Structure 1
Amino acid sequence: MSNGSNSGSNKAVPISIEQQKLLASAIRIQILHAIAEVPRTAKQVADLLRQTPGNIHYHMQRLADGGLIKLVETREVSGIVEKYYQSVGTVFHPQLVGESPDPSDPPIKSQLMLTEQQIEQLKDEMVQLLLKWERIIPQAPTDRLKEVSVGVMIREVMKGEAEQGIQRGEGDHPDRGREDTNPREGEEHR
C-alpha cells in the first residue's frame, strides 16, 4: 500500500508503550480502520462512524501526535484546508521496556464496540474457533510441536475506564485483532 501504510496486511507494526496507551479506546480503533485503505478527513470519518466531528478530530489529533496515523494529503476547497489522514497499520505489537522487536509473536487484543447480540455472537464464534483447533490431530513429528495456551476474555469496558487507563498509563489495547491470554483461576475458559 502507498504512503508507507501496512494496513492492507496483518503484519504487526511495532509500537511504544505511549502509542499502546492511545489504543485503549474502541473509537480510535474504528478510526484506524476507517482510514486504513482510503485516506479521509476528520469530517469524513465522523460521518462514516456517525460521531461528532469535534470528537473524531480530537481522537485523530491524538493518533497523529502519537504517530499512529499520518497526514498524507492537504487540499484547499473554497478557502478551507482539508487534511487527509491514513493509518500506519491496524495490527500492532507493543514494545516492552528493554524488549527487542519480535513482530512474529505479538500479544493479540482489541477494543470493540458491540451490541449485546454481537457480544454473544462473538463468544459463540470464539468457542467454535477453539473447538476447531482442539479437534485437529497433529501430523507433524512430536519434536516439531509446541504446546500453546489460548485464552479468550471478553468483558465490558466500564464507562470512563478506557479514558482513565489512558490517563494512568494503563492502556488495555496492545494489538488489534484477537486476544491471547491465560485465564485467571476461576475464570471460564475453553
Structure 2
Amino acid sequence: MAGIYIIKDLDQLKALSDPFRVRLMFKLIERPYTGQQLSEIFELSRARIHYHLKELEKLGLAEIVKTEEKNGIIQKFYQSVATGFYPHSSLFPHTKEISDMKQYLMLEMMEQTTSKLLSAPSEALEDVDSSEDPSEWNMMASSWEIQASEDTFKWYIKEQFKLMEELDRRAEAEEASSKKRYFVSNYGFRVEEPVFERVKDKDQ
C-alpha cells in the first residue's frame, strides 16, 4: 500500500466526493475486507457493496490483495491502494468536487479518531503524575487558533510531516519490547470566524 496517492482522474475525484464511498475507503485503508464482511459492517446488501467495490477497483482506488477459499467459495479481500489521497493540480478547476472530497475525508478521519478514543484503554488517558510539562504527559489533545499567512501555515504543515517522519524513524529503531501502540491524528484548516474569544485582564 502506498502512502499518498495523487488523484489525476476526474472520475476518481468524483468517487471520493461521495460520502459513502469515503466511509468505505476508510475501512479499506485500515485492513483488507471481503464484500460480505463490509455488508455486515455497513448493514447493506452484498450486491450494493460489491457494486461500490468493483467501481473503486475499476478506478484504481482499491485492489484485491488476497483470496481465500471457504466452503468452496473464493473470497476476495479488497484494500485501498494508499493510506491517503490528494488531488493533482490539473483537477483544481473542479473546486466543488475537491472541496467535497477533502471535507468528507476529514470528517471520516474525525469519526475514526472518535472511535479510537472511545475504545482506548483507560490507562491510556490516566496521568502517572500531575506534571504541568506537556512532555511528561502520556497523551496529547489541544486546539489552537492562529492568525498567520498562508505561507506560514504551509511551513507548519511541512514541519508537522517532518516531525511525524522523525517519530516513525525513532520508533523503528526502538526495541519491540519497549513499544506501545499510539494513534495520532492532526487537523488544521482555515475558518472565517474566531473560534475563541479572549477577554483582556481589567488591569491591562
TM-score normalised to structure 2 length: 0.48
Residue number in structure 2 paired with 1:172: none
Residue number in structure 2 paired with 1:156: none
Q: Does residue 13 in structure 1 map to residue 5 in structure 2?
A: yes
* Distance change >3 Å, CA 85–CA 32, structure 1 → 2: same
Q: Does residue 134 in structure 1 map to residue 146 in structure 2?
A: yes
Q: Deviations over 1:138-159 (max 9, x none)?
A: 9xxxxxx93559xxxxxxxxxx
Q: How far apart are residue 90 of structure 1 and its match? A: 4.1
* Distance change >3 Å, CA 83–CA 55, structure 1 → 2: same
Considering fraction of residues, name the structure with more helix.
Answer: 2
- What's the secondary structure of 2:17's corresponding residue? coil
Name the aligned partner's letter for residue 27 of structure 2. Answer: A
List 4+ stretches of structure 1 deviating above 4 A: 177-181
Q: Give the percent of matched residue pairs that are identical in Structure 1 and Structure 2.
A: 27
Query: Over alpha carbons, which structure has the higher Rg?
Result: 2
Residue number in structure 2 paired with 1:23: 16
Residue number in structure 2 paired with 1:65: 58
Residue number in structure 2 paired with 1:152: none
Would you say the 8 A contact 1:35–1:85 is kept in 2?
yes
TM-score normalised to structure 1 length: 0.51
Q: How far apart are residue 81 of structure 1 and its match? A: 1.4
Provide structure 1 residue ranges, at least 5 long, that are not aligned to the other structure. Answer: 100-105, 119-127, 139-144, 150-176
Distance 1:111 1:98 in 2: 17
Q: How far apart are residue 22 of structure 1 and its match? A: 1.1
- What's the secondary structure of 1:12's corresponding residue? strand
Provide structure 2 residue ranges, at least 5 long, that are not aligned to the other structure. Answer: 93-97, 112-141, 155-185, 195-204
Distance 2:188 2:15 in 1: 18
* Distance change >3 Å, CA 92–CA 57, structure 1 → 2: same
Distance 1:58 1:68 in 2: 14
Q: Deviations over 1:24-67 (max 9, x none)?
A: 21111111111213211111011112222221111111100001
Residue number in structure 2 paired with 1:78: 71
Would you say the 8 A contact 1:109–1:180 is kept in 2?
no
Name the aligned partner's letter for residue 80 of structure 1. Answer: I
Q: Does residue 32 in structure 1 map to residue 44 in structure 2?
A: no
Structure showing greater relative contact order (alpha-carbon pairs closer than 8 Å, 6 or more residues apart): 1
Written as runs of structure 1 = structure 2, the 5 A alignment for 1:1-190 is 5-6=1-2, 11-16=3-8, 17-97=10-90, 109-111=102-104, 129=143, 132-134=144-146, 146-147=151-152, 180=189, 189-190=193-194
Q: What RMSD in Å do the two structures reach over aligned CA positions? A: 3.7
Aligned residues: 122
